[in-house]
Amino acid sequence: MSDIEREVRAVAERAGDAAADLAPLSRAVKDAALEAIAEALVKRADEITDANARDVARAREDGTSEAMVDRLTLTPARIGAIADAVREIVELPDPVGESVRGGVLPNGLDLRQIRVPLGVVGIIYEGRPNVTVDAAALCLKSGNAALLRGSSSAYDSNTAIVAVIRDALAGTGVPVDAVQLVPGRTRESSQALMRARGLVDVLIPRGGGSLIQAVVRDSTVPVIETGEGLCHVYVDAAADLDKAVAITVNAKAQRCSVCNSAETLLVHEAVAEAFVPRVLAALADADVTVHGDDRVRAIAAAHSSPATVVGATEEDWAAEYLSLDLAVRVVPTVDDALAHIRRYSTRHTEAIVTDSLPTSRYFVSRVDAAAVMVNASTRFTDGGEFGFGAEIGISTQKLHARGPMGLAEMTSTKYVVTGDGHVR
Amino acid sequence: MSDIEREVRAVAERAGDAAADLAPLSRAVKDAALEAIAEALVKRADEITDANARDVARAREDGTSEAMVDRLTLTPARIGAIADAVREIVELPDPVGESVRGGVLPNGLDLRQIRVPLGVVGIIYEGRPNVTVDAAALCLKSGNAALLRGSSSAYDSNTAIVAVIRDALAGTGVPVDAVQLVPGRTRESSQALMRARGLVDVLIPRGGGSLIQAVVRDSTVPVIETGEGLCHVYVDAAADLDKAVAITVNAKAQRCSVCNSAETLLVHEAVAEAFVPRVLAALADADVTVHGDDRVRAIAAAHSSPATVVGATEEDWAAEYLSLDLAVRVVPTVDDALAHIRRYSTRHTEAIVTDSLPTSRYFVSRVDAAAVMVNASTRFTDGGEFGFGAEIGISTQKLHARGPMGLAEMTSTKYVVTGDGHVR
């Protein structure tokens, strides 16, 4: 075992001890700790911005794009917003102890299934240092110890932020080791975290597809896959075309860089002649480049569409563009739409636009995805929009949690069975 | 890729197609298929017992113990009981489509979270061929395609059973490929199943600890760990000693070979002098060998206990005996009991015997296990006892399902969001 692996495992063991102490704490104790964190972040913003300046300088030296530098940069105002987000988590109900199922068995035993923390949650993430605070706060509120492994580009910022959080915890009933940074900034340290089975209860990667796939591949710790979204909008033969245009443009262009934006539009051939010219015009207004099949290109040409339409290839159907590009295909039937979705979807969010109740029922029962939108934009798949208050990510897997993961999804359960000396 | 790996992947792909067709089927269609399976098993019992006779003969040639041969043996009466168990699953409610959460969002969107099948469920199991039918029936009822990998010792029996099941399905609305045996009887075929990530949604190993640990270690498919049970009974200072004796003996001896039997008894020192002699006498009546710490041995000697008491070593605290052996230790406080449990427990079931409400609350909130029994035997952790009607296993992990897994635990969920053209 290498030194760094030994260090990571020692940190994980301390997290396990902290998790055991954290599990029975009441909401009041956890909320007071979160308040203390929010206050400390604002009070010690200078320390954090100083550390952040070192990360930013290093990023500039490395020739990082200004957009990425901006994502990395912390200002007092941004730290204030991060602290406000912590206070929003204070307001959310505590999932721990919630009764999920309960009753009295025929033999008089009292059976209750209650929510309990998962234990030690590892978060491996890229990008913005606000995730450090956000992940720590969501873990604490749900009674979990957090092991944070951010990107090496934000290492100084994350180190400063975690020091502030831990100092704040020292004055509360929450153990300080409930929030720890995984030591090291090399690949070896994240690999050690992924191999800490038995010490870490779950790993949640937050970031791009390649990060997530690497964690899924290398981790022996159970992983919750999040975030990859190759979402489709299917415009049915019975669609209201006004709604279909609005939903398509919103799903693609309202914020194209996120996982719940649409990447492919499927159009039933019965409405293709009427719908495609209209949607192409609206997409052109939104600066969207269309990657169309032969049918779409023929319709665009026949109508002298103002849209930029290039030919779609096999790669386009499989592309999570995360940009102002949209693949568009005409399909003969709803079953062809379902077959296309089954082949290319990442099972995140699929939308149908239709006024036909039977077709809506047919599509909803057959499409395999975390969320199915009927006459609504794919952009609604979001913890905030769903009313969960906060989310740690959007799960695209089927085990444990599927779709936006709020605080309840960061818990497990425990059966509590109470009797009067019952035996079998 | 080897031939066998190619074959296993082809089988898994057909299971995926079957799962897509199976997911939207109504309960009536699935129940009719289960009835057809139950009928066919009884009607074609001869074919199954003929195949089973070959497995039994091979087992005898290999020098298998008579107890194991008995577990392997199928008779017309046993096949009748297996068919009856399928009919019991017919009677259970269908979890698919059940609404888990629902409401109307502030913007008027209708949000529902509904249960959907997991998809393709792989079961790797040892021992009795009844598991083949049981696992297939539970998968079908919950809308999942089953990929069955039994032990090579039951290969002929399992092949005959699956042939009968598939023939029965051919006359129903359920696709035949919803139940398949994984081809091959070598380690290579189970390894190929464990590596079929993306084709198999979850693997559930059913069997002994070494099988489960091998699957957890080698599988890239998500695994649900089941079954390992190093369960404790803690007799508190405030325990009713009559109840404590009854619960200890029941937890250990009512059926000692199963995962929810107790392996270690912890006794608060305040009641050790009064309780240990009584429980030792009762354990002696039940033919239990006690592995006691120094304190227990001293008390046994002082009272000339009829029990067989040998010295406990570190290995005893870590032993899942699954036999008429019980480790017994005296602890100074409830916190020492909790520390012992945290160190040695497999997080299956822990019991406390106490009449103190504060101590019961303290223990329940701090012990980390799938089930906590208060004044009840550990033997109650069971899908049947909990009223789930049937179980695929008892999960000892925290993700997805914890404790007895009934039909609901064999599902995932999907959000269905319905609007009138809603955009963000």
Q: Other CB atoms closer than 10 Å to residue B56's CB: what's the count? A: 21
When comparing pLDDT for B40 and A197, which is higher? B40
Are A368 and B119 in contact (CB < 8 Å)? yes
Are A412 and B402 in contact (CB < 8 Å)? yes
Report the gap between the CA of A220 and the closest CA in chain B (Å): 7
Report the gap between the CA of A137 and the closest CA in chain B (Å): 20
Are A20 and B422 in contact (CB < 8 Å)? no
Out of B376, B397, B423, name the one closest to residue A422 (CB): B376
pLDDT given for residue B128 in this prediction: 85
SS3 B95: coil
Structure confidence at residue B206 as a pLDDT band (50, 70, 90): confident
Are B421 and A240 in contact (CB < 8 Å)? yes
pLDDT given for residue B248 in this prediction: 98
Q: Are B314 and B252 in contact (CB under 8 A)?
A: no
User: What is the value of ipTM here, to two decimals?
Assistant: 0.94
Sheet holding A325-331, edge to edge: A308-311, A289-292, A325-331, A262-268, A231-235, A349-353, A371-376, B411-422, B110-117, B99-104
Report the gap between the CA of B59 and the closest CA in chain A (Å): 34
Out of B371, B386, B417, name the one closest to residue A373 (CB): B417
The single-letter code of the amino acid at B11 is: V
Out of A370, A419, A422, name the one closest to residue B415 (CB): A370
pLDDT given for residue B214 in this prediction: 87
A with B: how many residue pairs have Cβ under 8 Å apart? 209
What residues pair up with A281 in beta bridges, in sequence order? none
Separation of alpha carbons B89 and B31, rounded Å: 8
Phi, psi of A114, rounded to the nearest 5 degrees:
-120, 155
Mutate to test the interface with A, among B417, B418, B420 (most CBs of A within 10 A): B417
Please give the C-alpha separations between residue A167 and each of A36, A38, A120, in angstroms, as whole numbers: 9, 12, 20
Partners of A365 on chain B (C-beta within 8 Å) are 23-24
Report the gap between the CA of A154 and the closest CA in chain B (Å): 30
Q: Could you read off the pLDDT of B405-422 as tens digits, one per residue?
A: 999 999 999 999 999 999
Are B381 and A217 in contact (CB < 8 Å)? no
| Strand boundaries in A277-320, DSSP class E | 289-292, 308-311
Residue B227 confidence (pLDDT) above 80: no
pLDDT given for residue B304 in this prediction: 94
Separation of alpha carbons A374 and B422, rounded Å: 9
Out of A369, A398, A424, name the one closest to residue B119 (CB): A398
Separation of alpha carbons A25 and A28, rounded Å: 8
Structure confidence at residue B207 as a pLDDT band (50, 70, 90): confident
The single-letter code of the amino acid at B51 is: A
Sign of CA dihedral B88, B92, B94, B95: negative
Please give the C-alpha separations between residue B394 and each of A290, A295, B16, B250, B406, in angstroms, as whole numbers: 51, 54, 25, 20, 9
Residue A12 confidence (pLDDT) above 80: yes
Out of B105, B111, B364, name the one closest to residue A416 (CB): B364
Out of A254, A342, A398, name the one closest to residue B412 (CB): A398
Cα angle A124, A128, A134 (rounded to 5 degrees) comes to 70
Residue A128 confidence (pLDDT) above 90: no
Cα–Cα nearest to B297, from B281, B318, B311? B311
Are B220 and A217 in contact (CB < 8 Å)? yes
Sign of CA dihedral A250, A254, A258, A263: positive
Are A417 and B376 in contact (CB < 8 Å)? yes
Report the gap between the CA of B156 and the closest CA in chain A (Å): 33
Out of B217, B222, B371, name the one closest to residue A417 (CB): B371
Mutate to test the interface with A, among B213, B350, B398 (most CBs of A within 10 A): B398
Separation of alpha carbons B324 and A232, rounded Å: 59
Separation of alpha carbons B129 and B60, rounded Å: 17
What does the H/E/C string look like for B247-293? Answer: HHHHHHHCCCCCCCCEEEEEEEHHHHHHHHHHHHHHHHHCCCEEEEC
Q: Token match 């690949």: residue?
A: A187
Are B403 and A413 in contact (CB < 8 Å)? yes
* pLDDT, chain A, mean: 95
What does the H/E/C string look like for A237-268? Answer: CCCCHHHHHHHHHHHHHCCCCCCCCEEEEEEE
Which chain A residue's Cα is nearest to B117?
Answer: A398
Q: Could you read off the pLDDT of A61-97 as tens digits, one per residue?
A: 999 999 889 999 999 999 999 999 999 999 999 999 9
Report the gap between the CA of A217 and the closest CA in chain B (Å): 7
**Count of alpha carbons within 13 Å of A275, Cβ hemisphere only?**
30
Report all structural domains of chain B as residue ranges with CATH numbers, in order of start: 3-226+401-418 (3.40.605.10), 231-384 (3.40.309.10)
Q: Could you read off the pLDDT of A208-259 as tens digits, one per residue?
A: 778 888 888 888 899 998 878 999 999 999 999 999 999 999 999 999 988 9
Q: Could you read off the pLDDT of B309-346 as tens digits, one per residue?
A: 999 999 999 999 999 999 999 999 999 999 999 999 99
Mutate to test the interface with B, among A21, A362, A372, A422 (most CBs of B within 10 A): A422
| Strand boundaries in A258-333, DSSP class E | 262-268, 289-292, 308-311, 325-331
Are A374 and B222 in contact (CB < 8 Å)? no
Q: At what angle do helices B187-194 and B209-218 cross, to 10 degrees?
A: 50
Please give the C-alpha separations between residue A59 and each of A56, A326, B373, in angstroms, as whole numbers: 5, 32, 55
What residues pair up with A120 in beta bridges, in sequence order? A145
The single-letter code of the amino acid at A180 is: Q
Report the gap between the CA of B334 and the closest CA in chain A (Å): 15
Average pLDDT over residues B258-287: 97
